[in-house]
A and B are shown apart, each in its own frame.
Chain A
Amino acid sequence: MSSQAHEHQPLGGRVLTLPFLICAALVAVAGVILFQRYTQGLAAASNLNDGYPWGIWVAIDVVIGSAFGCAGYVIALLCYILNRGEYHPLVRPAVLASLFGYGLAGLAVLVDLGRYWNFYHMMLPWYAQPNSVMLEVGLCVATYTLVLVVEFAPAFLERFGIEGLRAKLNRVLWVFIALGVLLPTMHQSSLGTMMVIVGHKLSPLWQSQMLPVFFLLTAILMGFAIVVWESVMASLNFRRPMETPVLSKLAGLMLVVASLFVVLRFVDLIVRGQIGQIFGGPQSGWFVAEMALMISGLALLIPKANRNRSRALFLSASLLLAAGILYRLNVYLIGFTPAVGPWHYFPSVKEIMVTVGVFALEIALYLLFVKKLPVMHAVHPEHG
């Protein structure tokens, strides 16, 4: 047992660093805006309207934020389901990132809900409307957040020396690991299905019954990309050795998923007879931007040597993350045109500051946790 306890170590160091304080200040700004939102209504803090009832609080905080939270999903899938032990050092930081990604997506939902005091109706069977894709997403996300808490619990228990409970939890952890792979598969694909029902209001560049497949693929891709991205950032900022050998394997997987996405995207457009839309149809520039990011990100990974260069890895992960972000933004906001217009939407400064605050809270909590809890793999000279 004692050798295990040394596998992960808190990073230690000062908590009140400049980045932490900046994040805390941004969270405070968001708090002030949210006071206005809760006392005067959604219009006091946002440009949401009846043409665009969903703005960046849904598209970015929830739909994109939860994709950021897919790190834990893909690493658990690799490590425990496909039994690739070499990814083990990445598990805890990934699960922690997921916990915050999902926890704060849940928080963002409460910011956006117009009648938030009724939110618990989602969990009461007598209110349930089983045809609603949103009900499935909501229940899945709520359950998954609890699963992430359990998956992360060993770090807490280890830190506070509660070995008995930790051993017991370890014996049943496989149930939670299985759930932790099943639930994101379900709700990440359903985030795509959610936009099928808006029909003609979503540009044919994105409207497709393949939406669930594309959302699952971007979830996996963004999960991989965030692991690589976060790992390089952690190495630079905490002056740890690069985990390049493990990351280069992840890079190979990113290449496969991104290529599959691009190929399926074009096949889908051709089969639906909408391929002409990419040449100057409305919003085609956004499609081109999305594809350019995706293709340049994956092209960087085609030479095998690049997969061992941390700079190329970082750039590629950044491009692929941006591609996934833009794809999801296109589906939820940019490609959407209200039924009976004209309506306009661009997020207000206050609205943007709330989103910034949500992500700042995520970063602040992450910094706090990796310093105080055994999250990061201990650095030994023999595995640099």
Chain B
Amino acid sequence: MSKSMMSKNKTSVSRRGFLRNAVKGSAAAAAAACTTVVAAPPEANALQRPPKPLPPDAVGLLYDSTLCIGCKACVTACKEVNHMPPDVGPAQQGWNAGGGDKPIYDSPVELSARTLNVIKAYSHGTGATKDAAENGFAFIKRQCLHCADPSCVSVCPVSAMTKDAKTGIVNHDPSACIGCRYCVLSCPFGVPKYDYNDAFGEIKKCQLCKQQLAKNELPGCADVCPTGATLFGRTEDLKAEAKRRTALKVGEHTHYPRGDIAGKVGGPRSGHEKLVEAAYQTHIYGEKELGGTQCLAVSAVPFDKLNLPTNVPENGYPTLSEGIQHTLYAGMIAPATVFAGLAYLAHRNTKNHTDE
């Protein structure tokens, strides 16, 4: 103790002055940096990295809530094609609970590690009118939207979540995954799920039936949809179709395709003619949300009523979080510089200390 006190006393005034100034200077620089960061308006943020564009051949789904009849054939087909187990709530067990280990009635109400695709319903008041926000009801299909700039891919520390460069499909590789569930936490749409009831649980999410697409077959949900409410296709084509539909007027006669909008994947299918019964919202869900998504939705009921996040920015959240990291750690120059300074000071100062 006494020696270290002495070493402190020996420290020259000029050096201490230098140090004090150095600390003051860096504090001022840090304060200035903070002010710049805080003062930047949220739209044009100096820290944000540019958003990622969709691959030109990105594929996805267009869900039309006004066409959906809530038959849930897509839910069943999804389970079959992806070999997913049934999801049975306590109220949906057999009345005599005598089904042994096999539950008899698959009845998911939300996406889960057992359910990659689900139909949910909105209802209001008397629930009498389809596709009406007042005293009506409407359906919404939930599955991975396959973001242009996915948060789950950005956060994954071990590249278990990846985005296909050509199709844009967001894939998950359980053999790489460490189960940190950062993807579950970060997804702005609440899509990836983990199985908490399994000692060796996996992350599960829709991968747009990539195994079916590889065989030139349709994703399970689009394959079986009887009304074309779920339509497969290139996202660009689906976006054009969504714009056509949202411009339609009530009572107009129009054509709705089924299966693949281009008629290629899964072979050509016949569409159907129908009168537009409910006024479409102009909002195309997924066109702009968080940098855009490959799966889109149109509806006659506002999307916030369908339990989808609507008050979200037009750039994906990774533009900001990665922007911050890339600014601080660009080429590791800042950490290396700081380390050099620290090492210099530590080297010099440990010599003055008696111990350690």
- A residues near B (Cβ < 8 Å) are 4, 7, 38-44, 46, 48-51, 53-54, 79-86, 88-89, 91, 112-116, 118-119, 121-122, 127-129, 131-136, 138, 154, 170, 173-175, 177-179, 181-182, 185-186, 189-190, 193-194, 196-201, 208-210, 212-213, 264, 267-268, 271-272, 338-341, 377, 380, 382-383
Contact = CB atoms under 8 A, between A and B. Distances in A.
Given A115-B179, A128-B158, A41 B201 contact: yes
Given A89-B1, A197-B318, A200-B312, A53 B194 contact: yes
A233 B199 CA distance: 41
Contacts of A118: 158, 175-179
B350 A41 contact: no
The 4 A-B pairs at the shortest CB distance, nearest first, are namely A114-B179, A115-B179, A340-B190, A339-B190
Given A193-B325, A196-B324, A377-B1, A339 B159 contact: no
A199 B188 contact: yes
B127 to A, nearest CB: 20
B4 interface: yes
Given A174-B346, A194-B182, 17 more contacts: A4-B354, A41-B195, A44-B197, A83-B345, A83-B349, A85-B7, A85-B8, A85-B352, A112-B180, A115-B178, A122-B157, A182-B342, A198-B185, A209-B45, A213-B34, A264-B34, A383-B1
B267 interface: no
Interface string B187-227: 11110011111111111000000000000000000000000
Interface string B140-166: 001000000001011111110000000
Contacts of A209: 37-38, 45, 47, 320, 324
A173 B350 contact: yes
B163 to A, nearest CB: 11
B346 A81 contact: yes
Contacts of B352: 83, 85
A134 B180 contact: yes
Contact of B313 (A112, A128, A199, A210): A199
Contacts of A178: 339, 342-343, 345-347
16 contacts: A41-B199, A81-B342, A83-B345, A115-B178, A118-B179, A121-B176, A129-B159, A132-B155, A178-B342, A186-B335, A193-B321, A196-B320, A196-B321, A197-B151, A197-B154, A339-B187
Nearest to A5: B355
Interface string B62-85: 000000000000000000000000
Contacts of A4: 354-355
Contacts of A129: 153, 156-159
A127 B193 contact: no
Nearest to A182: B339
B311 interface: yes
Contact of A131 (B189, B203, B322, B355): B322
Given A174-B343, A200-B188, A210-B38, A135 B1 contact: no
A289 B187 CA distance: 29
Contacts of B37: 209-210, 213
A185 B329 CA distance: 12
Contacts of A185: 338
B91 interface: no
B288 interface: no
B116 to A, nearest CB: 13
Contact of A132 (B156, B335, B347): B156
Chain B CB count within 10 A is highest, among A49, A115, A177, for A115
Contact of B349 (A81, A377, A380): A81
A226 B356 CA distance: 22
Contacts of A194: 182, 321
A131 B318 contact: yes
A79 B194 CA distance: 46
Contacts of B328: 189, 212
Contacts of A44: 197
Given A4-B354, A209-B37, A43 B178 contact: no
Contacts of B179: 113-116, 118
Contact of B178 (A121, A174, A208): A121
B19 to A, nearest CB: 6
B5 interface: yes
B158 A121 contact: yes
B227 to A, nearest CB: 24
Contact of A198 (B158, B202, B317, B322): B317
B324 A212 contact: yes
B347 A174 contact: yes
B38 A271 contact: yes
A132 B157 contact: yes
Contacts of A133: 155, 321, 325
B269 interface: no
Nearest to B161: A129
B265 interface: no
Contacts of B197: 40-41, 43-44
Contact of B355 (A88, A115, A136): A88
Contacts of B142: 340
B186 interface: yes
A134 B154 CA distance: 10
Contacts of A128: 157-159
A84 B8 contact: yes
A382 B113 CA distance: 66
Nearest to B349: A83
B62 to A, nearest CB: 20
B283 interface: no
A124 to B, nearest CB: 8
Chain A CB count within 10 A is highest, among B113, B195, B346, B350, for B346
Nearest to A77: B342
B184 A50 contact: yes
Contacts of A38: 199
B293 interface: no
Contacts of B348: 83
Given A50-B193, A132-B156, A193 B324 contact: yes
B238 to A, nearest CB: 22
A86 B34 contact: no
A160 B225 CA distance: 75
B181 interface: yes
